[in-house]
Amino acid sequence: MTEIPEHLLKRAQAAREKAAADVPSEVPAAAAASEPAADPRIPAHLLERSKAAKSKASGESSGAVALQEKVASVVAAAPTGGGLPVGAGPGGHTQRLLTVIKSGSIQDVKATPVDKVHTWPHLLAAEFVAALACTAFTFFFSIFVNAPLLQLANINRTPNPSKAPWYFLGLQELLTMFHPMVAGVTIPGVGMIILIFAPFIDKNPSNKPEDRKFAISIMTVHIMFWAVLVIIGSFFRGPGFNFVLPWRDGLFFDL
């Protein structure tokens, strides 16, 4: 059998005592107030309207007292069948629900768009597919296009012009213009250092070209500088590594 908490019993007892003390005092006041003053200057229809309003107010007051007594009696009621008090919830609790708040008003259910993906599988899967495509292209290209080797080197006959592979022709072109220390160490070293620090200087995470002007400018200058040197060394250098015009003197370059 569930016992009613002591504070609820005290609250119900205080409500009953207050209701019993207020009823006798309200009834004579209402009866006295229902009798209008005998004033010949007040019209009769106004007196009747005043009587009706006062009687309605007294009826509402008595109804409120009756409702208060009913609530107090329910709270103080003894446990009924099942060992639970009247109006009790699960487990015998007598708490009441104040209000229900919709989840949409206190929770943000909108998904925040992001411009980042996981390295695996999104990035690595795309790179793996690209590597397979490049390998397949190289394989089929080698079937239809031959890549013959040159003859054995002859120590008594040096090729003229003697050119490095195309990917080193830019460095060989710099050696014709500057001191070997400057052309082989200083200029390439400064370029690599600038490329290394470029991500730390331009920290803008945007992928739009107009928002990455510094990074795009640095990479464009680097590529164009090296590409121009490679083109000059490949097509505009002849015997003795002298400057020639390919459309007049011929092309001194083999893949």
| Secondary structure (H, E, C), the chain | CCCCCHHHHHHHHHHHHHHHHHHHHHHHHHHHHCCCCCCCCCCHHHHHHHHHHHHHHHHHHHHHHHHHHHHHHHHCCCCCHHHCCCCCCHHHCCCCCCCCCCHHHHCCCCCCCCCCCCHHHHHHHHHHHHHHHHHHHHHHHHHHCCCCCCCCCCCCCCCCCCCCCHHHHHHHHHHCCCCHHHHHHHHHHHHHHHHHHHHHHCCCCCCCHHHCHHHHHHHHHHHHHHHHHHHHHHHCECHHHCECCHHHHCCCCCC
Predicted local distance difference test score (pLDDT) of residue 18: 84
Predicted local distance difference test score (pLDDT) of residue 229: 93
- Please report, as a single letter, which amino acid is at residue 150: L
CA–CA separation, 79 vs 3, rounded Å? Answer: 8
Predicted local distance difference test score (pLDDT) of residue 61: 62
* Global confidence as pTM: 0.44
Structure tokens at 157: 């006959």
Predicted local distance difference test score (pLDDT) of residue 26: 46
Q: How many Å from the N-terminal Cα to the C-terminal Cα in the chain? A: 100
Q: What Rg, from alpha-carbon coordinates, does the chain have? A: 50
Asked whether the CA dihedral 124, 125, 130, 131 is positive or negative, the reply is positive
Asked whether the CA dihedral 123, 124, 126, 130 is positive or negative, the reply is positive
CA–CA separation, 212 vs 202, rounded Å? Answer: 7
Asked whether the CA dihedral 22, 28, 29, 34 is positive or negative, the reply is positive
Q: How far is CA 144 from the centre of its chain?
A: 51
Rounded average pLDDT per 10-residue block, the chain, 255 residues: 71 84 55 51 75 76 62 53 51 63 59 73 92 96 82 84 88 92 93 89 86 89 92 91 90 76
Sequence-separated (6 or more) residues with CB below 8 Å from residue 165: none
**Residue written as tokens 């060992």?**
83
